[in-house]
Amino acid sequence: MYEGAVQDLIDELGRLPGVGPKSAQRIAFHLLASDTADVRRLAEALLEVKARVQFCETCGNVAESERCRICADPRRGDDVICVVEEPKDVVAIERTREFRGRYHVLGGAINPIENVGPDDLRISQLMTRLADGAVTEVILATDPNVEGEATATYLSRLIAPMGVTVSRLASGLPVGGDLEYADEVTLGRAFEGRRVVGG
Ligand SMILES: [Zn+2]
């Protein structure tokens, strides 16, 4: 335990995902040894992101206005929606350049152990988007792990009866992993080779 401000900083850093007590301590002392100007830039970037970035009211992606760049782009197709867990998955799929439709970000996956149920995800918002019949295909691009599969199964049972084609990314993605860790070629192939599920 350190005194006052140093310990406060270590405690705050330790609350970040993936930062254990040792890393928190290392980062704190790195900052302590850094130039004031560098630390100020970091502090400003943290405040700036909270002040400027919000979640797109249509798809849930990160946005700097009410709608994200992709929802606001008139050149993208309105007939296909790709459903992902997190905004970082949108970035991963955009890198493949395989997809020209719209996205829907759930904000996670169904996970009974961590008490995340369907009502905690942006599923009702997705159903609202499908209600007018303009969307003909929903691609389920949740992560290739237990939670992602459970979420995909839940969604396909919900969506297929609406007469919308539901597809899932082809196998070949590293099982148990995270979509964002798949390389562009593998993810691109999984996209091309997607298969229809449910219905
Ligand atoms: Zn959007």
* Cβ-defined contacts of 21-27 (< 8 Å, 24+): none
- What pLDDT score does 198 carry? 67
pLDDT digits (tens, 9 = 90+) for 94-112: 999 889 999 999 999 999 9
CA-closest candidate to residue 168, choices 150, 182, 152, 183: 152
Question: SS3 letters for 53-90?
Answer: CEECCCCCCEECCCCCCCCCCCCCCCCEEEEECCHHHH
- What pLDDT score does 21 carry? 92
Q: Is the pLDDT of residue 46 over 90?
A: yes
Distance (Å) from CA 28 to ligand 1 centroid: 36
CB neighbours of residue 190 within 10 Å: 22
Is pTM, for the whole model, over 0.75? yes
Q: Is the pLDDT of residue 184 over 90?
A: no
Distance (Å) from CA 73 to ligand 1 centroid: 9
Distance (Å) from CA 190 to ligand 1 centroid: 23
Distance (Å) from CA 46 to ligand 1 centroid: 22
pLDDT digits (tens, 9 = 90+) for 73-100: 999 999 999 999 999 999 999 999 889 9
- Please list the helix, strand and coil fractions of the chain in percent, rounded to the nearest 5, in that order: 45, 15, 40
Distance (Å) from CA 61 to ligand 1 centroid: 5
Q: What percent of the chain has pLDDT over 70?
A: 95
Distance (Å) from CA 85 to ligand 1 centroid: 14
pLDDT digits (tens, 9 = 90+) for 20-41: 999 999 999 999 999 999 999 9
CA-closest candidate to residue 101, choices 67, 137, 127: 137
Q: Taking a C-beta distance cutoff of 8 angstroms, is the pair 106, 60 a contact?
A: yes
Question: 75-101 burial, b if ≥16 CB within 10 A, otherwise e?
Answer: eeeeebbbbbbbbebbebbeebebbeb
Distance (Å) from CA 74 to ligand 1 centroid: 12
Distance (Å) from CA 133 to ligand 1 centroid: 19
pLDDT digits (tens, 9 = 90+) for 116-141: 999 999 999 999 999 998 999 999 99
For the chain, domains (ranges, CATH) are: 4-52 (1.10.8.420), 55-168 (3.40.1360.10)
- What pLDDT score does 177 carry? 67
Helix or strand run (H / E) with residue 159:
helix 146-159
Collapsing DSSP to helix, strand or coil, 102 comes out as: strand
Q: Ion ligand 1 — residues with CB under 5 Å? A: 56, 58-59, 61, 68, 71
- What pLDDT score does 27 carry? 97
Distance (Å) from CA 169 to ligand 1 centroid: 21
Distance (Å) from CA 191 to ligand 1 centroid: 20
Q: Phi and psi for 66 in degrees, rounded to 5?
A: -60, -35
Q: What is the largest CA-CA distance in the chain?
A: 62
CB neighbours of residue 74 within 10 Å: 5
Distance (Å) from CA 14 to ligand 1 centroid: 31
